[in-house]
Amino acid sequence: MSGRILVIEDDADLAGMLDRVLRDEGYAVKLAADGHTGLHVGLTRPFDAMIVDRGLPAVEGLDLIARLRGRGVGTPILVLSARNSTEDRVEGLDAGAEDYLTKPFELTELLARLRALLRRHLDHAGQLAVPGGLLDLSTRTVQRTAGGRVELSEREAALLGLLAARPGVVFSRADLLDRVFDDAESETVVDTYVHYCRRKLGQGVISTVRGLGYRLGGA
Protein backbone atom coordinates (compact mmCIF):
# COMPACT_ATOMS: atom_id res chain seq x y z
CA MET A 1 0.00 0.00 0.00
CA SER A 2 1.31 3.46 -0.85
CA GLY A 3 0.27 6.99 0.00
CA ARG A 4 1.40 10.37 1.24
CA ILE A 5 1.99 10.55 4.98
CA LEU A 6 2.55 13.66 7.09
CA VAL A 7 4.49 12.90 10.28
CA ILE A 8 4.32 15.65 12.92
CA GLU A 9 6.83 14.69 15.60
CA ASP A 10 9.28 16.85 17.57
CA ASP A 11 11.57 13.99 18.62
CA ALA A 12 14.18 14.10 15.84
CA ASP A 13 15.34 10.51 16.39
CA LEU A 14 11.81 9.09 16.31
CA ALA A 15 10.84 11.24 13.32
CA GLY A 16 13.93 10.08 11.43
CA MET A 17 13.18 6.45 12.19
CA LEU A 18 9.56 6.81 11.07
CA ASP A 19 10.71 8.55 7.91
CA ARG A 20 13.05 5.68 7.02
CA VAL A 21 10.59 2.92 7.87
CA LEU A 22 7.65 4.49 6.05
CA ARG A 23 9.72 5.19 2.96
CA ASP A 24 10.89 1.58 2.97
CA GLU A 25 7.21 0.59 2.96
CA GLY A 26 6.61 2.68 -0.16
CA TYR A 27 5.08 5.78 1.40
CA ALA A 28 5.96 9.35 0.47
CA VAL A 29 6.75 11.12 3.75
CA LYS A 30 6.75 14.75 4.84
CA LEU A 31 8.11 15.63 8.29
CA ALA A 32 7.12 18.55 10.53
CA ALA A 33 8.93 19.16 13.84
CA ASP A 34 6.33 21.30 15.65
CA GLY A 35 2.60 21.88 15.73
CA HIS A 36 2.67 25.25 13.99
CA THR A 37 4.54 23.88 10.98
CA GLY A 38 2.45 20.72 10.97
CA LEU A 39 -0.77 22.72 10.97
CA HIS A 40 0.39 24.86 8.06
CA VAL A 41 1.51 21.87 6.01
CA GLY A 42 -1.65 19.90 6.83
CA LEU A 43 -3.85 22.78 5.69
CA THR A 44 -2.00 23.54 2.49
CA ARG A 45 -0.89 20.17 1.12
CA PRO A 46 -2.78 16.93 0.44
CA PHE A 47 -2.02 13.75 2.41
CA ASP A 48 -3.56 10.30 2.67
CA ALA A 49 -2.88 10.00 6.40
CA MET A 50 -1.17 11.86 9.25
CA ILE A 51 0.79 10.65 12.25
CA VAL A 52 0.61 13.28 15.00
CA ASP A 53 2.52 13.35 18.27
CA ARG A 54 0.35 14.59 21.12
CA GLY A 55 3.06 16.51 22.99
CA LEU A 56 4.09 18.99 20.31
CA PRO A 57 5.64 22.43 20.81
CA ALA A 58 3.97 25.57 19.41
CA VAL A 59 0.57 23.92 18.85
CA GLU A 60 -0.34 20.90 21.01
CA GLY A 61 -1.29 17.77 19.09
CA LEU A 62 -4.98 17.57 19.97
CA ASP A 63 -5.41 21.30 19.36
CA LEU A 64 -3.76 20.84 15.97
CA ILE A 65 -6.18 18.04 15.09
CA ALA A 66 -9.19 20.08 16.18
CA ARG A 67 -8.03 22.99 14.02
CA LEU A 68 -7.57 20.73 11.01
CA ARG A 69 -11.03 19.26 11.44
CA GLY A 70 -12.49 22.73 11.91
CA ARG A 71 -11.05 23.74 8.54
CA GLY A 72 -12.61 20.76 6.80
CA VAL A 73 -9.51 18.53 6.56
CA GLY A 74 -10.75 14.94 6.81
CA THR A 75 -7.40 13.17 6.41
CA PRO A 76 -7.20 10.10 8.71
CA ILE A 77 -5.02 10.77 11.76
CA LEU A 78 -3.12 8.42 14.05
CA VAL A 79 -2.07 9.98 17.37
CA LEU A 80 1.19 8.99 19.08
CA SER A 81 1.41 9.68 22.81
CA ALA A 82 3.16 8.59 26.00
CA ARG A 83 -0.14 9.25 27.79
CA ASN A 84 -1.99 5.94 27.88
CA SER A 85 -4.97 6.26 30.21
CA THR A 86 -8.47 5.59 28.93
CA GLU A 87 -9.29 9.27 29.41
CA ASP A 88 -6.31 10.28 27.28
CA ARG A 89 -7.32 7.96 24.45
CA VAL A 90 -10.91 9.21 24.58
CA GLU A 91 -9.68 12.81 24.41
CA GLY A 92 -7.64 11.98 21.33
CA LEU A 93 -10.52 10.33 19.53
CA ASP A 94 -12.94 13.09 20.53
CA ALA A 95 -10.54 15.67 19.11
CA GLY A 96 -11.00 14.06 15.69
CA ALA A 97 -8.31 11.38 15.46
CA GLU A 98 -9.20 7.96 14.04
CA ASP A 99 -6.68 5.99 16.10
CA TYR A 100 -4.43 6.40 19.15
CA LEU A 101 -1.18 4.52 19.75
CA THR A 102 0.80 4.83 22.98
CA LYS A 103 4.58 5.07 23.26
CA PRO A 104 6.66 2.96 23.26
CA PHE A 105 5.17 1.00 20.38
CA GLU A 106 6.15 -1.74 17.97
CA LEU A 107 6.75 -0.59 14.40
CA THR A 108 4.82 -3.56 13.06
CA GLU A 109 1.75 -2.42 15.01
CA LEU A 110 2.08 1.17 13.81
CA LEU A 111 2.33 0.01 10.20
CA ALA A 112 -0.68 -2.28 10.61
CA ARG A 113 -2.76 0.53 12.12
CA LEU A 114 -1.70 2.86 9.32
CA ARG A 115 -2.72 0.34 6.68
CA ALA A 116 -6.10 -0.07 8.40
CA LEU A 117 -6.60 3.71 8.44
CA LEU A 118 -5.87 3.94 4.74
CA ARG A 119 -8.17 1.02 3.90
CA ARG A 120 -11.07 2.52 5.87
CA HIS A 121 -10.46 5.87 4.25
CA LEU A 122 -10.63 4.33 0.79
CA ASP A 123 -13.72 2.29 1.68
CA HIS A 124 -15.60 5.46 2.62
CA ALA A 125 -14.35 7.47 -0.32
CA GLY A 126 -16.64 5.92 -2.91
CA GLN A 127 -19.23 8.70 -2.69
CA LEU A 128 -18.37 12.32 -2.03
CA ALA A 129 -20.44 15.47 -1.76
CA VAL A 130 -19.84 18.09 -4.43
CA PRO A 131 -21.69 21.35 -5.04
CA GLY A 132 -25.12 20.46 -6.36
CA GLY A 133 -24.81 16.70 -6.10
CA LEU A 134 -23.05 13.52 -5.07
CA LEU A 135 -19.99 12.13 -6.83
CA ASP A 136 -19.81 8.34 -7.19
CA LEU A 137 -16.22 7.39 -7.94
CA SER A 138 -17.07 3.78 -8.80
CA THR A 139 -19.34 4.81 -11.68
CA ARG A 140 -17.66 8.17 -12.39
CA THR A 141 -20.99 9.99 -12.25
CA VAL A 142 -22.50 12.89 -10.36
CA GLN A 143 -26.09 12.51 -9.21
CA ARG A 144 -27.49 16.03 -9.21
CA THR A 145 -29.54 17.13 -6.21
CA ALA A 146 -32.07 18.67 -8.59
CA GLY A 147 -32.26 15.44 -10.59
CA GLY A 148 -30.32 13.90 -13.42
CA ARG A 149 -26.95 12.21 -13.67
CA VAL A 150 -23.76 13.56 -15.23
CA GLU A 151 -21.10 11.21 -16.57
CA LEU A 152 -17.42 12.08 -16.10
CA SER A 153 -14.27 10.85 -17.72
CA GLU A 154 -11.75 8.95 -15.60
CA ARG A 155 -9.57 12.00 -15.12
CA GLU A 156 -12.47 14.37 -14.52
CA ALA A 157 -13.68 12.04 -11.76
CA ALA A 158 -10.20 11.69 -10.29
CA LEU A 159 -9.69 15.46 -10.21
CA LEU A 160 -13.08 16.17 -8.69
CA GLY A 161 -12.73 13.28 -6.24
CA LEU A 162 -9.40 14.57 -4.92
CA LEU A 163 -10.85 18.03 -4.34
CA ALA A 164 -14.05 16.65 -2.80
CA ALA A 165 -12.16 14.39 -0.38
CA ARG A 166 -10.53 17.48 1.16
CA PRO A 167 -13.04 20.31 0.70
CA GLY A 168 -11.13 22.76 2.89
CA VAL A 169 -7.78 22.33 1.12
CA VAL A 170 -6.40 24.41 -1.73
CA PHE A 171 -4.42 22.25 -4.16
CA SER A 172 -1.68 23.80 -6.24
CA ARG A 173 -1.56 23.00 -9.93
CA ALA A 174 1.68 21.11 -9.28
CA ASP A 175 -0.03 18.94 -6.63
CA LEU A 176 -2.92 18.16 -8.96
CA LEU A 177 -0.58 17.40 -11.83
CA ASP A 178 1.33 14.95 -9.63
CA ARG A 179 -1.74 13.27 -8.12
CA VAL A 180 -4.09 13.09 -11.11
CA PHE A 181 -2.06 13.65 -14.28
CA ASP A 182 1.26 12.02 -13.45
CA ASP A 183 1.96 11.15 -17.08
CA ALA A 184 1.51 14.75 -18.26
CA GLU A 185 4.34 17.26 -18.49
CA SER A 186 2.54 20.59 -18.39
CA GLU A 187 0.36 22.07 -15.64
CA THR A 188 -1.96 23.43 -18.35
CA VAL A 189 -3.64 20.00 -18.41
CA VAL A 190 -4.94 20.78 -14.92
CA ASP A 191 -6.59 23.97 -16.15
CA THR A 192 -8.07 22.07 -19.08
CA TYR A 193 -9.76 19.47 -16.88
CA VAL A 194 -10.98 22.09 -14.42
CA HIS A 195 -12.66 23.70 -17.43
CA TYR A 196 -14.20 20.35 -18.43
CA CYS A 197 -15.63 19.81 -14.93
CA ARG A 198 -17.05 23.32 -14.83
CA ARG A 199 -18.59 22.89 -18.27
CA LYS A 200 -20.39 19.73 -17.14
CA LEU A 201 -21.29 20.70 -13.57
CA GLY A 202 -21.29 24.49 -13.47
CA GLN A 203 -18.71 27.16 -12.68
CA GLY A 204 -19.26 26.80 -8.93
CA VAL A 205 -18.06 23.21 -8.69
CA ILE A 206 -14.36 24.23 -8.55
CA SER A 207 -13.05 27.63 -7.53
CA THR A 208 -9.76 29.29 -8.41
CA VAL A 209 -7.76 30.63 -5.47
CA ARG A 210 -5.61 33.26 -7.10
CA GLY A 211 -1.90 32.58 -6.81
CA LEU A 212 -2.44 29.26 -4.99
CA GLY A 213 -4.50 26.81 -7.06
CA TYR A 214 -7.92 25.21 -6.91
CA ARG A 215 -10.37 24.00 -4.28
CA LEU A 216 -13.83 22.46 -4.23
CA GLY A 217 -16.78 24.82 -4.46
CA GLY A 218 -17.10 28.56 -4.60
CA ALA A 219 -17.81 30.94 -7.42
Q: Which domains does the chain carry?
A: 4-123 (3.40.50.2300), 127-216 (1.10.10.10)
In percent, the amount of the chain with pLDDT more than 90 equals 55
Integer distance in angstroms from the first to the last C-alpha of the chain? 36
Q: Which residues pair with 20 in a beta bridge?
A: none
pLDDT in tens, 132-148: 899 988 789 999 988 89
Report angle CA 106, 111, 114 to the nearest 5 degrees. Answer: 130
Look at residues 192, 185, 194 and name the one whose alpha carbon lies nearest to residue 215: 194
Per-residue pLDDT at 173: 92
The whole-angstrom separation of Cα 101 and Cα 28 is: 21
- Starting at the earlier edge strand, list the strands of the sheet with 127-130: 127-130, 133-136, 141-144, 149-151
Q: What is the mean pLDDT of residues 54-58?
A: 92
Contact present, 114 and 43 (Cβ < 8 Å):
no
pLDDT at residue 195 above 60?
Answer: yes
pLDDT in tens, 77-121: 999 998 888 888 899 888 889 999 999 999 999 999 999 888 776
pLDDT in tens, 160-172: 988 988 787 889 9
Per-residue pLDDT at 124: 56
The structure's pTM equals 0.63
The whole-angstrom separation of Cα 75 and Cα 55 is: 20
Per-residue pLDDT at 99: 93
Cα separations in angstroms, 217 against 101, 182, 193: 35, 24, 15
